[in-house]
């Protein structure tokens, strides 16, 4: 498993990279995945809003965005020895901090939730319908509970 974590310098020292790696590893294991690569970008509301506007047509900040890899592009060849690239997860640190305060838990716990949520999107989960939302939230809760038991 290869996880590239990029942190905006404004938030350097506020994000526990090791914890995020453990969260991603546990989440992937719980989904039966032992290999793959992804990137996590921790940034501010401005950049998240720009990405949200550009790729989703929503001109507003949000807490987490996921950008999966389109695998059916013509002419795109992946070397056989390469791990599957799952995609990118973009998290707004200011939004995570605000939501942590709102929900009464630590910013680390909120970051765990947002990264798991983003990863589940990369793995095909969605919450467009109530049934999908229930299934996705149940997976999130299960993964986060396991992490709490082992101590991310």
User: How does pLDDT run across 43-99, given as a tens digit for each residue?
Assistant: 999 999 999 999 999 999 999 999 998 655 555 565 666 678 999 999 999 999 999
Tell me the pTM: 0.89
CATH superfamily ID and name for 2-150 = Metalloproteases ("zincins"), catalytic domain (3.40.390.30)
The tens digit of pLDDT for each residue in 95-151 reads: 999 999 999 999 999 999 999 999 999 999 999 999 999 999 999 999 999 877 666
Strand pairing of 85-92 and 2-7? unpaired
Please give the Cα distance from 24 to 2 (Å, whole number): 10
| H or E element in which residue 56 lies | helix 45-56
For the CA atoms of 16, 22, 114, 125, what is the dihedral angle to 10 degrees? Answer: 160
Q: Is the dihedral of CA 33, 144, 100, 127 positive or negative?
A: positive
Domain coordinates of the chain in residue numbers?
2-150
């Amino acid at each position: 498993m290869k996880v590239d974590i990029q942190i905006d310098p404004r938030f350097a020292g506020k994000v526990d990279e090791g914890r995020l790696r453990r969260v991603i590893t546990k989440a992937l294991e719980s989904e039966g995945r032992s290999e793959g690569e992804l990137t996590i970008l921790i940034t501010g509301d401005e950049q998240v809003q720009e990405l949200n506007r550009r790729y989703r047509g929503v001109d507003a900040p949000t807490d987490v965005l996921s950008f999966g890899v389109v695998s059916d592009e013509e002419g795109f060849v992946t070397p056989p020895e390469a791990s599957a690239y799952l995609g990118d997860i973009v998290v707004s640190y200011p939004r995570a901090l605000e939501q942590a305060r709102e929900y009464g838990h630590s910013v680390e716990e909120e970051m765990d939730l947002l990264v798991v949520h983003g990863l589940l999107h990369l793995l095909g989960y969605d919450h467009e319908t109530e049934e999908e939302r229930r299934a996705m939230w149940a997976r999130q809760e299960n993964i986060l509970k396991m992490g709490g038991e082992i101590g991310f």
